[in-house]
Amino acid sequence: MRTAHSRHARGLAGPLSALFAASALGLGALTLVAPVSARDHKPVATSSARKEITEAAAAFRRVAQVRPIPQAYLDRALAVAVFDDIVKAAFIVGGQGGSGVFMHRTGSGWGAPAFVTLKAGSVGAQIGASRTDAVFLFMDQVAVDALAEGRLEFGTNITAVAGPRTATAPEANTTTRQQVLVYAKQEGLFAGVAANGVKISFDKDDNAAVYGDTPVADVINGKVDTPEGLGGLAEALKGFKSTSN
């Protein structure tokens, strides 16, 4: 008489035999691997990313030395984008002007860095033939959302103006109501309509190299830890002490 136990053992005989046979043929034991979620990707601080962060931190300090950024404005900014060595001669229709780093403020400080590009989409944005650094302060959520959705273009759906030197300057009441304030190493850059047509967007390749398939929204909103070696810009922002009121 066959018992339930014997029937169960016979039912396992086939799969076990196949497993032993595979092992005997040198195929190794079968291993069940759980699917890897994009959220499980461990960020990798590539050499290129380290270089970009180092250059962005240095650019922020250079700009702050020659174009005073009022402490109150940086403290109020929801996000910051820093571009090192913008090639102004490249500001032609569809031409790329430079690469940089974007930092979004979270409830616990600055989120992980994301990589961005800056380019011009109109002839009106051509601004010369030299190079410069620039710091963009995002003063409202609308501008941050426009960047996250890939539709940020100054003069079209987002306004950007040169930031005032002091919080008490005559123009401060007007300019600080703008969505993005720009502090550039070269005076006059991005003043008035010069910023119109300029676009900032996330660099898909650079972000993927560090964060894999993790959505950039998770990166900038504090859902991803800053990879070791990529905290230089956050440290520069935290350590900033303005000489301007």
Tell me the domain boundaries of the chain.
1-35, 44-238
Burial of 156 (0-12, 13-18, 19+ CB in 10 A): middle
Question: CA-CA distance, 31 to 200, in Å (whole number)?
Answer: 46
Q: 71 in helix, strand or coil?
A: helix
Give the tens place of pLDDT for each residue, 121-160: 544 444 454 567 899 999 999 999 999 999 998 888 888 8
Give the tens place of pLDDT for each residue, 65-98: 888 899 889 999 999 999 987 765 444 444 446 8
Give the tens place of pLDDT for each residue, 169-226: 545 555 556 789 999 887 555 554 456 778 899 999 999 999 999 999 999 999 999 9
pLDDT reported for residue 48: 95
pLDDT reported for residue 38: 45
Question: What is the reported pTM?
Answer: 0.75
pLDDT reported for residue 28: 44
